[in-house]
Structure formats: C-alpha cells, structure tokens
A and B are shown apart, each in its own frame.
Chain A
Amino acid sequence: MTLRIFNIQKFCLHDGPGIRTTVFLKGCPLGCLWCHNPESQNPEPELLFVGDKCTGCGLCLGLCGARSMGIDRTLRLDRTKCVACGRCEAACPRSVNALRGYDAETDEILCAVARDIPFYETSGGGMTVSGGEPAAQPAGVLELIEKARERGISCAMETAGVGSADFYRRAAELGCLFLFDLKGIDPEKHLRNTGVGPEKIHSSLDMLISRGADIVIRMPLVPGYNDSKEDLRLMADFLRERRGGFLYAEIMPYHSLGVEKLRGLGREIPAPIPDGRAFADRWRGALASSGAQLRVSGT
C-alpha cells in the first residue's frame, strides 16, 4: 500500500522518546491558522519555492514542462500552471525549488526507517508517524505501523484526533504512543481556528484513555488565538478531569518558522503572531491548577 508523504526525517528528538525517524504524511483535514508545516496541509504534491535563495540562473526554465516559470531577476512561478512534476527540483543547484509530496510504498518507508534500528535500541526511540494527519490515510498508516512492529520498532503517532474510532482502536492495540494535539476547548473558537469542531477530537481522546493507551497531550498555544484566560481555564479543567489518563501534557509555544514556508508555497501570509516562547512561563502557571505533569517543548 502506498502513503502520500513529504519527508522522512531522521534523528528527530522531539517527536516522542529517544532518537526517532519521523514520517511526515501529506494532507490534513484541519486548517489551523498558525500551522507551522503548511506544506503538509494540501494532499496534492506542490512546489515549495524559496525565492530569496534564487540567483536567477535559469537552469530550471528549460526543464519546466508546464511553462510555469519565467525569470525577472529571480524566478517567477505561475502556480496556476505548475503541475508539480519536480523536474526543476533536480535542476536547481541551490535547492531553491523543492517538490513536496510523493507516494511511497510502506515497505519502502519501512526500509528507510529500519536503517536506524541500532539507534532506537540505544535511545529507546522508534518511528513517529506525523502529519499532515495520519488519520487521513488510515489503512496505509496502520499497515506501516504493523510492519514496523514486526521489525520490533516502537511507534508513535502525532494526531489531531479527527480519525475514526476504529483507526485509533487498532493503533492502540498495536502499542502506538499517541502524541495527541489539543488545540482548544471552546467549540466555536476551535472551529474558527482550525476549521473543525472539537467534539470528535475530545471523544477520540476519551476513547483512547478508556482503553489505557499511552498518550501525551500536546497543546500548541498561539498568542491571540487560543491562549486567553478563559481558554487556559477551560484547558486546565479539561486536563484535570482526565488526570492520570495520559503521561504528561506538553505546551508547544508558537514559533514563526512556518511563515517562510507559506511564502514559499505562494500562500497568503497571516498577520504576524508574536513568538510564543515569551509566554511559556505564564501559560504553564495558568495550567498548573490542572494538577497534570506539564512540560514545555524545546527545553
């Protein structure tokens, strides 16, 4: 079975315990306004184009079958014509053009993941399936996890919780660690921020808790979007009610690294959001009343 992915990244240290290889799937049913991996949202392959590295050498022009490129000191890309064939990526000496998104067989992915088994063994690491959203490609993801389990590789999954109950149940049976995103409690706000309501997400989480799955709750906190006093109070309550049902909760302060990628994808740039790291201590204090074990990522 194939999976639509955009990267297999080795030596990941922050997607679960130990040294991990993270498989980034392409395509996500959510549309979070602050997404720091915007190239993962669209399920179709697309061209990421980092304009400020372009020297205008023109090596890619002749290779473009769709005639979507022109030179005006640096490269100009007509995205309405680009078919994401990726020929220009191979041509570029400075890695300005990068095709994001391709189909890979689960066996092929596993082959790459298995190269680092000796490092998983000494570090307690393994494979993490991330997104995009793994639940958007349930059959392939489950197959990949099953095959990894057969090789003795422990697995983690980063999910926003929007998949089917069957999918999560099966993944839990396979011993998967869930890095479960919690992006807010208030239904209206959640819908506005992410494009989906939180009800299904919360019920998926409760189902996994009731089955005793290994869960880490991860809270991307974004200044001005989901960090009001009320938001934090609701979140603290939510965590308190489920205390003991998850390993710990991790605060993930917003950072702006995704903005460059938005530019590279030719997408609209939202109004600037301040860096969240300055607020991390305050957030941590506000969530302390939940009684849950809290961590702040990047520390």
Chain B
Amino acid sequence: MRAFKTKLEPFGRGWVNCESSDRELRAASGYLLWARETENLKIDPDLGLCYAYMDGAVGCTNYAPVYCDSGELDRLAAAHPEDADDLMFIKEQMLPVLKHQHIPDYFTEEQRLHAADGHLWGGTWTGHSNPKYADFALLGTDFFRKKVEACRLSNPGHDPFYDAMMTTLDAVDVLGARFGELARDMLARGELTDAQRERTQRIARAFDHAPQKPCRDFFEGVVLFSMIFTLDGPSPDSPGYFDQYMIDLWRLTEPALRRETLENLWQFFHSRRIWNLCIGGSDEHWNDRSNELTYEILDVTAKYAYNTPNLTMRVHRNTPETLMRAAYRTIAAGCGLPALYNDEAVCPALERLGIPPCDSHLYVMNGCNQIDIMGKSHMGLEDGEVLLAKAVELALTNGVSVKSGRRLGLETGDPADFESYDAFYAAVLRQLDHLTDIAASMANTAQKIYRETGANPLRSLLIDGCVEKARDYKDGGPLYGHGQILAEGIADAANSLAVVKKLVFGEKRFTMRELSEACAADFEGFEAIPRAAARADLRFGNDSEFVDGIAKELVDHFNRYLLGIQTVRGGWYGGGCSPFNRAAHYGHALGALPDGHRKFAPLIADSIGAVPGTDVNGPTALLNSCLSFDHTLPTSGFILNVKFDRDLFRTKAGEEAFLALAKSYFERRGQQLSVTVVSEEELRDAQAHPEAHRDLIVRVGGYSDYFVNLSRDLQDNVIARTSY
C-alpha cells in the first residue's frame, strides 16, 4: 500500500482498510478513523465555533460526481497539483472498488448529442437534501443509537448498514471528545483574551455532555451544528428550516448571548458558502410559524448583506404584516434577500407529488431554489433542464438543430406545410415532450450511477426513512424522492408562438415558408419580420391576454407532462423555472426564432418573466402576465425576478407599493418573488469600473452573486432586465 502523506490520509485509509463490501460501512470506517486521527480540528475562540476541515475527503463518496469520474480526476489533478496526491489516491484506490468510471460513457449517443448542442442536460449533479444537521444537538447521539438498534430489530438482515450507522455515531462522539479536550488544552495554555476564554469555557462545558446528550442552549447548539456541518464534507447541504428547529434552544439562552451567537454563526455560514436557509411559513392548518428568531435572522441578513446563505422566507395567508415589513427592510438593504416563497402555491404543488400536507408544509429550499422537504427527502439538484424555445426552433426546421446541423428533434414535417396554428403548436409540443424525455432519461441514468457509488452514513442518519429502511440517502432511503426538470426560455417560446399565431395565421402578414426561411437566414433579407414581431401585444410580460394565454398553455403542459415521469429515487419529476446563471449561455444554443431572437444571441427570458427589455408596461403588467401560469403545478421553484430601482426603496410610497405588489401576487397564488435592488447607472458603472463595485450583489435567478463576477453576457442580461 502506498504511503499516505496528505490530509486525506485517515479517511482514505479507513475507507480502503475496511474490507466490507458494504459501501456504507466503508464510508463510516473512513469517518471514524478520520475523527480519531485528523489534525484539522480547530476551535475558533472569536466566533465560539468548532470545525474541522475535510477538503476533498468525503466528497469522493458523497457529493460531487466529479470524484467518481476518473477522467475528471485526471483533469483536476493536472489543474491542482497540490491536490494531485489526494485525487490519484481516489482514482487508484477507491474507484476500482466503486467499479465505476467515466459518467458520460453511460449516456447514449443521442443523449450526448443533445447535451453537446447545449439546449438540455440531465443528471450532472448528484443532488441536494436538507439533512437535519441540528438533530445531534437537539437529540444527542444516545438517542440515535437507540433508534438504530430499534430499527435493526424491526428490519433484520441489514447488519452492515446498521453497523455503519453505529460506527458513524462513534465518529461523532470521538470528535466531540477531541474538541472538548482541545478546548481544555487551550484554556490550560492561557493565551486567550477574556472574551475568548469565556467562549472556550462554554465550548468545553458543552462537550461535557454533548454530543451524547442534547445541548442545553443556543450557544451549545451552534457549536454542535458547526461541528456536524463540517463533518458532512467539503460542500455540506443547506441548513433548512433554521428558525423552527433552533427556536427552543434560542429561548433557553440568556438574552445577551443570543444575538452574538447568531451573528458568529452567520459569519461561519458565509465563510463556508452555505446554500440556503429558510424561515417563516405556515403549518398544515395555515397557522403562522414565525417567531422571534425569524425577525433576528432578517435583521442579521440586512446587517451583513452577504450573498450567502441564500435566505428564503415563506409567506402565506396568515403572514403577519410586521414580518412582511421586516422582510421588506432586509430586501431594501440591498442584498436581494430574502427571496419570498408562497406556501399557497408550493404546498399544493408538492401535494401533487403525493406528499401529505403535514410534510408539504415542511418544505425548504436547498441549493438555490430546489424545493425539498426538511429532513425527509432527497432530490436531484437540478436533475435536468430543457430549453423550451428549442422546441419551437425544431418545429421550424423539421427537427434539425441549428447549432450542430444534426437532426436531433422529431420529424414533424416541412414547416411550410403547417396549415393552421394548431397544427404547428402540436408539432412544438411533440418536440418539447421529446426533449423532456431525453433530459429525464439522462437524469435517471446518472442518478442510478450515483446511487450505486456514493454512500454517506452521516446524511442517512439525518434524513427520515433511511435508517428505518436500511438504505442510503441516495438509494431511495428518504421518505420522498421527487425530482426536478426545469424550463428555460419560456417567454422566448411564447413570443415566437404568438408571432406564428397572430402574424402568420391571423393577420397573414407572411407565410410559414417565409418565416422558416427568415429564421434559417437569421433574418438577413427579412428585416420586416423581426420588426413586425416587436409589438408589445406579442411579447410576454406586458399583460397581453393573447400572448400570456399561449405561454400558459405551453408551460402548464410542460409542468403537467413531468408529473407523469418517475425518478429513480421513488418519486416523480416536477417542473419549475430557475435560470441560475445560464440564461445567457442558452441563447448561444438557439437559432433565430420568430420573435426576432437572432441566431446564438445571448439574451434569453429572465426566469418566468419577460425577455429582457421587452416588458414595457411596468411591474404590475409583468406580474399579471406571470400569474397566467398555474403556479400550483411546478414543484421545484417557479422563479420570478423583478428588478427595482434603488430609488423605489428610498421612499415610503415605494415601501407601500412593494408590499402591495407582493401581497397581490401572493394572494393570487404566485409562487415566488425575488427582487434585485439596484440602479442601472450603478450597473453600467460597475461594468466600466468593477474595482469600485465589488460589493454590488444582484440576484441571478436562483442565487445572489457579485455583479463583477458575472460574465459580460450575463451582466448585460441583468442590465437589460427592465429596471422599473
């Protein structure tokens, strides 16, 4: 065996030396050895937190699929020589055991060609879940031991799995003991300031009884929370419904210590780029769940104005007005957070997946805006994505993708032969269903591989169903296994269909043949067509019933179609729209479209809203347009970005107007609203002088990012997003 000299050493050694064929047990052995031997344990006496660096180690079996992929490992090793030893260790020692190689090899030729053209993809990430990280703090490992043993009795024949659970609990206990020792050492050395000493004493006291027994106050809870969080690997998942599970410990804490502890945790969250934290919301009887911690979190978010963690606030019919105003103040502070989600749309959507109300009202966001059930589900992080506008392109080319010139779509006939709008629309739907099927099959292919390779006993302990069923969290263990395939380019597709319906078959301004020739020529010599198409009543986002109706039919169809496709995790797919940072990229995958989109031009519809710059009637019109969709169909986040001028947030009238806009949108069951507060000049100036605007945060679909970090295309996209 080779000599290990890297930070991976204990975990990898534990993993390889455990000769069990059970993946779960191998991972647990890795954890245990790592917990005993790692030198990466650290107590931060200023923040009062404990954490352990696990760079790369758990990732290999747990999170990022790149580590399961030998080709990807070679590439990473070349790019990061300092990590090459670790990466080669994974490749040489672990991958052979995982019997697993290059993931794209598993895709069919057809799937690969679609992905290469860039209009859809599926299954490149292993998925998100919202493990109940706080449960070790709230319940203690003794509780988990009892639970594991009870399940071992009730579900016999899975000893290796249950041994793995017990070994993992041992690892947690070992870590606790070592942190306690470390705290006492630091106190003995006496190099601390008074404040540091007090915090370190508290940490030492916490580990007198934790993690075996439950924590006694918020400070101890946060100490345990950060410890478990770091044990979950280099890229832990989202903390979830924080104001709910932490409120009891919060109230048990002396008031002077509460806020300070929360702020320290916030800085830790930010330094680890924690994904998403959820607050507010209702229970299944629509009682409001907000509490004093909800308000504190809003306040801390405004104070630090970090772009992470991504803050989600759930609203519903009984959300107190004071809470909405507190959320408004945080939004107005300028970080674009919190994003507002509406229980009235999300819960009914989740119930379509067979999730009962008691659990649908436990939804949280993980990652950017994948809707998960707190501690009860595992979903593909963006299992896949489909560019809706591509279906229109394919119907106009008889299935030939403009990007590569290959016939990737169905042969729906010569476009000149469509004799009615309905015939053309039927062809578009056939193309769209075909693309959706391919994205879903890619996602399922990849998810099957992840299911067979990775194992994470820690997450399996923290997600309901896994211990009971003796199955890993990726292997159908969690109670719910729904998935997500997102729509892109909604408004581009709708605008194009509107042009066909109104200008070709309605006003007969030109024929289908002319239109398809114009698109093929990228409008060279057909300048009149894009000019005729640039009418507000043919543009989604202007409260035009004509085009909004077309958009609704298309998107509702997509969302319904997905509800009939199964994931490999024992659930159903659902639709959504969450553009992340790829809106510009998708433009490059798209040929010329009837709405005047030029071949490979970057601008593409922003979230479920308008194509940037085409909504000219203000935010009320945009909201009305977006409300034409059925928001109780998409189960994985149906995002609407609205960008408001900073000036709006400076006046009292602006505050009232924003609250009224949000109220009206949510009363009519809009699913989600996120806001960017920014002025156009500021953005243009930031393009010219990025150094002066490093603090400028904008929301890009699902998450917030620093404007200066965005590509030029995406910056233009954000600027063009109509600023009201």
A256 CB, min distance to chain B CBs, angstroms: 17
Contacting residues of chain B (640-679) with chain A, CB-CB under 8 angstroms: 648, 651, 653-654, 656-657, 659-661, 663-664, 667-668
Given contacts A115-B543, A118-B667, contact A125 B531 (CB under 8 A): no
A13-B531 in contact (CB<8A): no
Question: How far is B512's CA from A143's CA once the two chains are assembled, in angstroms?
Answer: 45
Q: Report the nearest B residue to A93, measured CB to CB.
A: B531
B620-A11 in contact (CB<8A): yes
Q: Which of B624, B653, B663, B667 has the most CB of A within 10 A?
A: B653
A191 CB, min distance to chain B CBs, angstroms: 34
B620-A122 in contact (CB<8A): no
A119-B621 in contact (CB<8A): no
A14-B653 in contact (CB<8A): yes
Say yes or no: is B617 at the interface (Cβ < 8 Å to chain A).
Answer: yes
Contacting residues of chain B (571-619) with chain A, CB-CB under 8 angstroms: 617-619
B664-A121 in contact (CB<8A): yes
Question: How far is B648's CA from A18's CA once the two chains are assembled, in angstroms?
Answer: 13
Say yes or no: is A91 at the interface (Cβ < 8 Å to chain B).
Answer: yes
The one of A18, A118, A121, A299 in contact with B657, judged by C-beta atoms closer than 8 angstroms, is A18
Say yes or no: is A10 at the interface (Cβ < 8 Å to chain B).
Answer: yes
Say yes or no: is B89 at the interface (Cβ < 8 Å to chain A).
Answer: no
A11 CB, min distance to chain B CBs, angstroms: 4
Q: Report the nearest A residue to B624, measured CB to CB.
A: A115
The one of B621, B651, B663 in contact with A122, judged by C-beta atoms closer than 8 angstroms, is B663
Q: Report the nearest B residue to A123, measured CB to CB.
A: B660
Fill in one digit per residue for B217-248: 1 if any A CB lies within 8 Å of its CB, else 0: 00000000000000000000000000000000
Say yes or no: is B107 at the interface (Cβ < 8 Å to chain A).
Answer: no
Say yes or no: is B724 at the interface (Cβ < 8 Å to chain A).
Answer: yes
Given contacts A10-B621, A13-B654, A18-B657, contact A119 B664 (CB under 8 A): yes
Return chain A residues, CB-CB under 8 Å to B668: 118
Contacting residues of chain B (132-159) with chain A, CB-CB under 8 angstroms: none
Return chain B residues, CB-CB under 8 Å to A119: 620, 623, 660-661, 664
Fill in one digit per residue for B378-407: 1 if any A CB lies within 8 Å of its CB, else 0: 000000000000000000000000000000
Question: How far is B661's CA from A118's CA once the two chains are assembled, in angstroms?
Answer: 9
B677 CB, min distance to chain A CBs, angstroms: 16
Question: How far is B724's CA from A91's CA once the two chains are assembled, in angstroms?
Answer: 25
B664-A11 in contact (CB<8A): no
Contacting residues of chain A (1-60) with chain B, CB-CB under 8 angstroms: 9-11, 13-14, 18-19, 59
A123-B657 in contact (CB<8A): yes
Return chain A residues, CB-CB under 8 Å to B724: 11
Say yes or no: is A231 at the interface (Cβ < 8 Å to chain B).
Answer: no
Question: How far is B661's CA from A45's CA once the two chains are assembled, in angstroms?
Answer: 34
Question: How far is B279's CA from A82's CA once the two chains are assembled, in angstroms?
Answer: 60
Query: What is the count of residue pairs linking A and B with beta-carbon distances less than 8 angstroms?
Result: 61
A109 CB, min distance to chain B CBs, angstroms: 14
Say yes or no: is A237 at the interface (Cβ < 8 Å to chain B).
Answer: no
Q: Which of A59, A119, A124, A299 has the most CB of B within 10 A?
A: A119
A19-B651 in contact (CB<8A): no
Return chain A residues, CB-CB under 8 Å to B664: 118-119, 121-123
The one of A14, A19, A93 in contact with B620, judged by C-beta atoms closer than 8 angstroms, is A19
Given contacts A13-B657, A19-B660, A19-B661, contact A116 B651 (CB under 8 A): no
Say yes or no: is A298 at the interface (Cβ < 8 Å to chain B).
Answer: yes
A285 CB, min distance to chain B CBs, angstroms: 21
Contacting residues of chain A (195-226) with chain B, CB-CB under 8 angstroms: none
B127 CB, min distance to chain A CBs, angstroms: 38
Return chain A residues, CB-CB under 8 Å to B531: 59, 90-91, 93
B622 CB, min distance to chain A CBs, angstroms: 9
Return chain B residues, CB-CB under 8 Å to A116: 620-621, 624
A10-B620 in contact (CB<8A): yes
A261 CB, min distance to chain B CBs, angstroms: 18
A10 CB, min distance to chain B CBs, angstroms: 4
Question: How far is B648's CA from A289's CA once the two chains are assembled, in angstroms?
Answer: 31
The one of A10, A13, A121, A122 in contact with B653, judged by C-beta atoms closer than 8 angstroms, is A13
The one of B534, B624, B660 in contact with A18, judged by C-beta atoms closer than 8 angstroms, is B660
A48 CB, min distance to chain B CBs, angstroms: 16
A10-B617 in contact (CB<8A): yes
A122 CB, min distance to chain B CBs, angstroms: 4
Q: Which of B618, B620, B621 has the most CB of A within 10 A?
A: B620
A20 CB, min distance to chain B CBs, angstroms: 10
Q: Report the nearest B residue to A14, measured CB to CB.
A: B653
Return chain B residues, CB-CB under 8 Å to A298: 651
B284 CB, min distance to chain A CBs, angstroms: 26
Question: How far is B543's CA from A11's CA once the two chains are assembled, in angstroms?
Answer: 13
B216 CB, min distance to chain A CBs, angstroms: 45
Q: Report the nearest B residue to A125, measured CB to CB.
A: B660
Return chain B residues, CB-CB under 8 Å to A93: 531, 534
Return chain B residues, CB-CB under 8 Å to A10: 617-618, 620-621
A59 CB, min distance to chain B CBs, angstroms: 8
Question: How far is B596's CA from A93's CA once the two chains are assembled, in angstroms?
Answer: 12
A11-B618 in contact (CB<8A): yes
Return chain A residues, CB-CB under 8 Å to B620: 10-11, 19, 115-116, 119
Return chain A residues, CB-CB under 8 Å to B660: 18-19, 119, 122-125
Return chain B residues, CB-CB under 8 Å to A118: 624, 664, 667-668
Question: How far is B252's CA from A141's CA once the two chains are assembled, in angstroms?
Answer: 64
Question: How far is B553's CA from A221's CA once the two chains are assembled, in angstroms?
Answer: 52
Return chain B residues, CB-CB under 8 Å to A90: 531
Return chain B residues, CB-CB under 8 Å to A59: 531
B621 CB, min distance to chain A CBs, angstroms: 6
The one of A18, A125, A299 in contact with B651, judged by C-beta atoms closer than 8 angstroms, is A299
Q: Report the nearest A residue to B724, measured CB to CB.
A: A11
Q: Report the nearest A residue to B648, measured CB to CB.
A: A13
Question: How far is B654's CA from A125's CA once the two chains are assembled, in angstroms?
Answer: 13
Question: How far is B651's CA from A13's CA once the two chains are assembled, in angstroms?
Answer: 10
Question: How far is B656's CA from A125's CA once the two chains are assembled, in angstroms?
Answer: 11
Q: Report the nearest A residue to B663, measured CB to CB.
A: A122
Return chain A residues, CB-CB under 8 Å to B656: 18, 123
Question: How far is B663's CA from A18's CA once the two chains are assembled, in angstroms?
Answer: 13
B77 CB, min distance to chain A CBs, angstroms: 51
B525 CB, min distance to chain A CBs, angstroms: 15
Question: How far is B657's CA from A18's CA once the two chains are assembled, in angstroms?
Answer: 6
Offer 24 A-B interface pairs, CB within 8 angstroms, sorted by A: A11-B620, A11-B621, A13-B648, A13-B653, A13-B654, A13-B657, A18-B660, A19-B620, A19-B661, A59-B531, A91-B531, A93-B531, A115-B624, A118-B624, A118-B668, A119-B620, A119-B661, A121-B664, A122-B659, A122-B660, A122-B667, A123-B656, A123-B660, A125-B660
Known contacts A13-B651, A93-B531, A123-B657; 16 additional CB pairs below 8 A are A9-B618, A11-B619, A11-B621, A11-B724, A13-B653, A13-B657, A19-B620, A19-B660, A59-B531, A91-B531, A115-B621, A116-B624, A118-B668, A119-B623, A119-B664, A122-B664
Chain B residues within CB distance 8 Å of chain A: 531, 534, 543, 617-621, 623-624, 648, 651, 653-654, 656-657, 659-661, 663-664, 667-668, 724
Ranked nearest first, the 7 interchain pairs of A and B with the lowest CB-CB distance are: A123-B660, A11-B618, A122-B660, A122-B663, A122-B664, A10-B618, A118-B664
Chain A residues within CB distance 8 Å of chain B: 9-11, 13-14, 18-19, 59, 90-91, 93, 115-116, 118-119, 121-125, 298-299
